A and B are shown apart, each in its own frame.
Chain A
Amino acid sequence: MRTSHSSQSLICWVIKMIYEGDFLKDAISNLLARGYKVFAPVKLGDFHLFREVKSAEEADFGYILPRNSAKIAVFPENEVLIKYSSWIDEIPFEETRIAIVGIKACDAKAIKLLDEHFLEGFVDPYYKSRREKLLTVAITCEEPGINCFCQSFGINPRKPEADVVFSRIGGKTFVNAYSDAGKDFLSEFNLRNEGEEEARLRQNFERETLEMRKIEIDVEKLKKSFESSYWKEVAVNCKSCGVCTYLCPTCFCFDIYDEGEKKGVRIRAWDSCQFPLHTLESSSHNPRAEKWQRLRNRFYDKFYYALRKGDYYCVGCGRCIDFCPAGIDIVSVISGVR
């Protein structure tokens, strides 16, 4: 595995500052005023969702993790590629810059993983156009959720890989920039440098390990147990729905199809490997016709096939565990491979 390809290690300078006031809301207002398209968590009833916001008041930051992942900002659920009738209209890339405010360490890491998928080798122009204009403002985690296991992947929930990192420690607002874009962004704010005492406070906060679940991945075992009946046992309760993949911050499968016969649009939409139609070929052959094969594929995709890229494609956010209607638990499944 590649040890580190994060932007943090490449940058020798980092600014660490303190802000007086509600930084996140001010950041949203600032970004909106500068014409950014801002994605931030919105509170709906009892839960939070990443959504495009039009004002700072809409956003709310009292969550451990929003239900959906922040990937919607760079990889939307639906996206119109072309319009067609008697001629074809290409849809120009949007010029608006994009910001995600309130992203957590796991989702921030997931965007790095999506970069590997969409930008290395064959470059996806739609993803690239959005990714280039993206600014991420992250929040550090104070406490983990019940099914969080990000630390198993070397992610520090207290130190997200984002342009700007916001943390609230001992009643003080710490704001750090980890990239040029982040530094530029922070130059708009009234900040003061942190004092020695405060620096110690922050460092201690960052170093603290949180008590959370651990996933044990044995790649050798995975390699051997592809044909194991274990997968059938695991999948017996699987419903073949798309909850796990649609909420997953690193899932990137999509489908392109045309809407309208003589006149219409070509749309790119998310797809899920858990749906039987995902792999149905037009010859009527389906290489993953059974649900246990599809479920197995999901686990191998995340923990075995993805290693070609150098990383596990899981960031330990625990969404798939929380919301699986059948209670299939990626941590116990992978840890218990035989």
Chain B
Amino acid sequence: MNEVEKIREELKKSGAERIVAFVKKENEPREVLAVLSQKDIDKVTFSPLSVNNPAKLLMQLNGKVAVVAKGCDAMAIRQLIKEGKLKRENLFIVGISCRGVIDYRKLSKIEKLSEIREVRLEGEEVVLKMRNGEKRIPFAEVIEENCLYCEHPTPVIYDVLIGEAREGRKDFSDLEKLEKMSREERWEYWISQFERCIRCHACRSVCPLCYCEECIVDPSNLAISPMSTAEDKASYPRLLGKTVNAKDNAIYHIIRVLHHAGRCSGCGECERACPMELPLRKLERKLEKVVKEVFGYDLNEDIPFFSKLDMLGD
């Protein structure tokens, strides 16, 4: 039985009414998330191009749900359970011991996407089933950078695990290059990145941990009620405008990232969603490092990071 068949089997066994899993996207080789019922179970598929994080989708659904989760997805689900946004007893998690996913953008540079029919992983190689024939490329060439530093490739919570448990990496060597730069160089680097941002807020919208109904970075996060007076509305503090320029974008990204300190599951959705390819994970990684090294907090602890107060001396 291959991986996909095993996944289908487990989803069927779970008996859940609704299933959150990956299905093939029309016209493209990648997979997208869908909410399915038991009768559509044959549509379920999985490949290294099943990149998205289902955690955000789960928050919309009630009742028993079966979900396919990679290591990072399980981290996010666990975090949401910790924060009371999901109920463990409602979930049936088919955990997948993940070897990393393919960077779709890297793949599109190597091969014409319209030619690719199917993608699967075999050993250290990616097998591309093309319109005519097969092609093999080394996995290392197309793996998403984020996955190279994945700390939890094996789901931290699951009901069934598919594949063998894997060890993750625990160092922060991806940050070394930036940390070695001088302050001015770093500023140059980041400002040239932030300058591209168009503030579509995709990084915020796709993040499974950004579930606030009113977001602080929204142009007007004004709690309006029929009782609000004109004066209330006028004097409501607006922390961040809609102006799009490198500095304001920098502030937007700092605020956004700070809210993920000690929570980020490391799925990399923000970076994948960004149409301007900002290296957003680097910011999150930096905070992960601070949380770990300065505060000594481990993401697996049951107490949320911000509720834990005894970790610093005076």
Residues of chain A at the chain B interface (Cβ within 8 Å): 44-47, 49, 67-68, 77-78, 146-147, 213, 236-237, 239-243, 245-247, 255, 257, 259, 267, 269, 271-272, 275, 277, 280, 282-284, 323, 325-327, 329, 331-332
A277 close to B219 (CB less than 8 A): yes
| B224 proximity list for chain A (CB < 8 A) | 280, 282-284
The residue on B at minimum CB distance from A281 is B224
Give the complex CA separation of A78 and B195 in angstroms.
13
A247 close to B275 (CB less than 8 A): yes
Q: Is the CB of B73 closer than 8 A to any CB of chain A? A: no
Given the contacts A68-B198, A77-B244, A237 and B34 also touching, CB distance less than 8 Å: yes
B205 close to A241 (CB less than 8 A): yes
A275 close to B218 (CB less than 8 A): yes
Q: Is the interface of B mostly helix, strand, loop or mixed?
A: loop
Give the complex CA separation of A283 and B276 in angstroms.
36
A257 close to B275 (CB less than 8 A): no
- A47 CB to nearest B CB, Å: 7
A257 close to B25 (CB less than 8 A): no
A49 close to B200 (CB less than 8 A): no
| B185 proximity list for chain A (CB < 8 A) | none
The residue on A at minimum CB distance from B192 is A44
- B133 CB to nearest A CB, Å: 19
Q: Is the CB of B202 closer than 8 A to any CB of chain A? A: yes
Q: Is the CB of B220 closer than 8 A to any CB of chain A? A: yes
Give the complex CA separation of A284 and B200 in angstroms.
24
One of A243, A280, A327 near B200 (C-beta < 8 A): A243
**Which of B52-60, B92-100, B288-296 forms part of the interface with chain A?**
B52-60
- Contacts A46-B277, A259-B241 known; 12 new A-B pairs at CB < 8 A: A44-B196, A78-B242, A239-B202, A241-B273, A242-B199, A242-B205, A246-B200, A246-B275, A269-B243, A277-B218, A282-B224, A284-B224
| A67 proximity list for chain B (CB < 8 A) | 275-276
B52 close to A326 (CB less than 8 A): yes
- B97 CB to nearest A CB, Å: 24
One of B32, B109, B198 near A326 (C-beta < 8 A): B32
Q: Is the CB of B28 closer than 8 A to any CB of chain A? A: yes
Given the contacts A239-B206, A282-B224, A146 and B114 also touching, CB distance less than 8 Å: yes
Q: Is the CB of B137 closer than 8 A to any CB of chain A? A: no
One of A243, A257, A329 near B242 (C-beta < 8 A): A257
Size bin of chain B's contact surface: 35 or more
Q: Fill in one digit per residue for B176-203: 1 if any A CB lies within 8 Å of its CB, else 0.
A: 0000000000000000000010111110
Residues of chain B at the chain A interface (Cβ within 8 Å): 25-28, 30, 32-35, 52, 56-57, 60, 105, 108-109, 112-114, 196, 198-202, 204-206, 218-220, 224-226, 228, 233, 241-245, 269, 272-273, 275-277
8 pairs, CB–CB < 8 Å, chain A vs chain B: A47-B277, A146-B27, A237-B33, A241-B201, A269-B244, A283-B224, A323-B275, A331-B27
Tally of contacts, chain A with chain B, CB under 8 A: 123
Give the complex CA separation of A77 and B245 in angstroms.
10
Given the contacts A237-B32, A237-B33, A257-B241, A242 and B233 also touching, CB distance less than 8 Å: no
- A186 CB to nearest B CB, Å: 33
Give the complex CA separation of A243 and B272 in angstroms.
12
Give the complex CA separation of A272 and B275 in angstroms.
15
One of A46, A247, A282, A331 near B233 (C-beta < 8 A): A282
- B245 CB to nearest A CB, Å: 7
- A5 CB to nearest B CB, Å: 30
Give the complex CA separation of A68 and B109 in angstroms.
18
A239 close to B27 (CB less than 8 A): no
| A47 proximity list for chain B (CB < 8 A) | 277
- A236 CB to nearest B CB, Å: 5
Give the complex CA separation of A259 and B241 in angstroms.
7
- B311 CB to nearest A CB, Å: 33
Give the complex CA separation of A243 and B212 in angstroms.
19
Give the complex CA separation of A240 and B57 in angstroms.
12
B206 close to A77 (CB less than 8 A): no
| A243 proximity list for chain B (CB < 8 A) | 200, 202, 273, 275
Give the complex CA separation of A332 and B272 in angstroms.
22
Given the contacts A269-B242, A325-B273, A237 and B57 also touching, CB distance less than 8 Å: yes
B201 close to A275 (CB less than 8 A): yes
One of A45, A269, A275, A329 near B25 (C-beta < 8 A): A329
Give the complex CA separation of A237 and B28 in angstroms.
17
The residue on B at minimum CB distance from A144 is B114
| A49 proximity list for chain B (CB < 8 A) | 196, 276
B27 close to A147 (CB less than 8 A): yes
Give the complex CA separation of A20 and B244 in angstroms.
41
| B201 proximity list for chain A (CB < 8 A) | 241-242, 275
| A275 proximity list for chain B (CB < 8 A) | 201, 218
| A45 proximity list for chain B (CB < 8 A) | 277
- A334 CB to nearest B CB, Å: 12
- A212 CB to nearest B CB, Å: 9
One of B30, B33, B225 near A284 (C-beta < 8 A): B225
The residue on B at minimum CB distance from A274 is B205
Interface centre among A269, A271, A327 (most CB of B within 10 A): A327
One of B114, B245, B277 near A78 (C-beta < 8 A): B245
One of A239, A246, A280 near B56 (C-beta < 8 A): A239
The residue on A at minimum CB distance from B56 is A239
| B277 proximity list for chain A (CB < 8 A) | 44-47
